[in-house]
Amino acid sequence: MMPASENISGQPSLTGDPVFIRSGNFEELTNLNRKKYFQKKSILHFLYTRGILSNPEICKLTNLSSPSINKLLKDLINDGLVQEEGIGQSIGGRRPNIFGLKPDSRFIIGISINKNFSELAVFNIRNEMLGEIRIFERSLESSQAFVDGLYDFCMNVLGEMEIDQERILGIGIGIPGLINPLSGKSYSWLNYSDKSVKELFEEKFAKPVFVDNDARVMALGEYVFGSASDKKNVLCLNIGAGIGMGMILNGAVYHGHSGFAGEFGHIKIEEDGALCICGKSGCLETLASGDALVKLAMQAIDEGRESKILSLVANEPGKITSKTIVEAARKGDQLSIDLLAVIGNYLGKGLATLIHIFNPEAIIIGGNLARADQFIIDPIQQTLNKFTIYQIKKDTSIVTSSLGENSAVMGAMAIVINGVFEDVRSNGVV
């Protein structure tokens, strides 16, 4: 093993820990230095979760003395992780200095992989998105070429932003299909070798990578930053090319026994229906997903129905997407409104069962159909009125995502933070 090296402040920290980059091996630390490591990381955790704090506030949160906190803060400032933010309000005596995370000390990459494209965003340690969401315009395929292409795309984005890769805290990835979040293994995509998705991307980035199902990632984004932030029991639908669902139950993302919970798109709705990619027939995903919506639109246009949809794609039917149909509906196109009502009816039938089972506070519609707003919510509500017990359904609100297209990449950022600070939580420090 490599001997423990020292960081700027003279304190050894942890090899592989993305917070403390200058590092030795954790097992090489003395008990005292290990204790200091957790104390410093707990301060960072509180500054991340609570925002700017004063010395007395940090003392109260950590149960450490003021001299100890002063020394640890000085170390963290020397590490380039924390900065002074000015003078706070007096609570008796001198006005205290206040401290916060240094925004450009670390960065997080959030990636949402979809079937037809992938989204990427870069955040600083204060949850601020740098620039806009970038689109990797390549369909998902289970190949090393896809992994290499997405990695190269990320590196180009970091280069344009002039961000040093050494300052990357971690990479969060949401991907459709069956995912085991503990191992990072996918049973649906990028399973062309014996390596997990996590391992494939960690080999490329040489940084911690955290992977989960795209709908659960979206749900976490809504819970931490969006429409579910004040709720404990929420169902979050991710309607894109397919249909996924993330569940917040009792204030935590629910994964199920094997990590596969939330495959809402694969409940059977139609007897002897269309064949689904899962190998079964009549799944909700074949009837109410973004791809199903596009298929319905193209069939209607082929049958001669008039619509604004074609004018939005320069009369090229092959370019029609679910976003095109939503845009047409918002412009008053009757065909698009009717088709969204069909989709909403199927979704309502599926959600009726879930409402009876989970009795959620809210159901959040996310993904490409989120911008449909009432065009999708109203038919869902009408169907729920037919198929649910009023006393159970009356306290469930149906809303579209407040984060819009940002929810997935923001959730991907959140799983990085959860993973990076897991050691301080598991050791009872916070």
Segments making up each domain of the chain, as ranges: 26-102, 107-218+410-419, 227-402
107-218+410-419: same fold as 26-102?
Answer: no
pLDDT of residue 387 exceeding 90:
yes
CA dist 80 and 70 (Å) reads 15
Question: How much is the average pLDDT of 175-188?
Answer: 86
Provide the Cα torsion 352, 354, 359, 363; round to 10°. -80
Look at residue 151 in the predicted model and tell me its pLDDT.
Answer: 95
Give the position of tokens 């506030």: 57
As assigned by CATH, the class of the 26-102 domain is mainly alpha
CA dist 164 and 325 (Å) reads 40
Nearby residues of 362 by Cβ (< 8 Å), 6 or more positions away: 227, 228, 231, 234, 235, 396, 397, 398, 399
- Write down the pTM of the prediction: 0.80
Please work out, in degrees rounded to the nearest 5, the angle formed at the alpha carbon of residue 412 by the alpha carbons of 355 and 113: 90
Q: What are phi and psi of 4, to 5 degrees?
A: -65, 125
Q: Identify the band that residue 368 occupies on the pLDDT scale cut at 50, 70 and 90.
A: confident
Q: Report the topology of domain 107-218+410-419.
A: Nucleotidyltransferase; domain 5 (3.30.420)
Look at residue 316 in the predicted model and tell me its pLDDT.
Answer: 87
Question: How much is the average pLDDT of 362-388?
Answer: 91
Q: What percent of the chain has pLDDT over 90?
A: 42
CA dist 236 and 247 (Å) reads 6
Q: What is the mean pLDDT of the chain?
A: 86
In CATH terms, is domain 227-402 a member of 3.30.420.40? yes
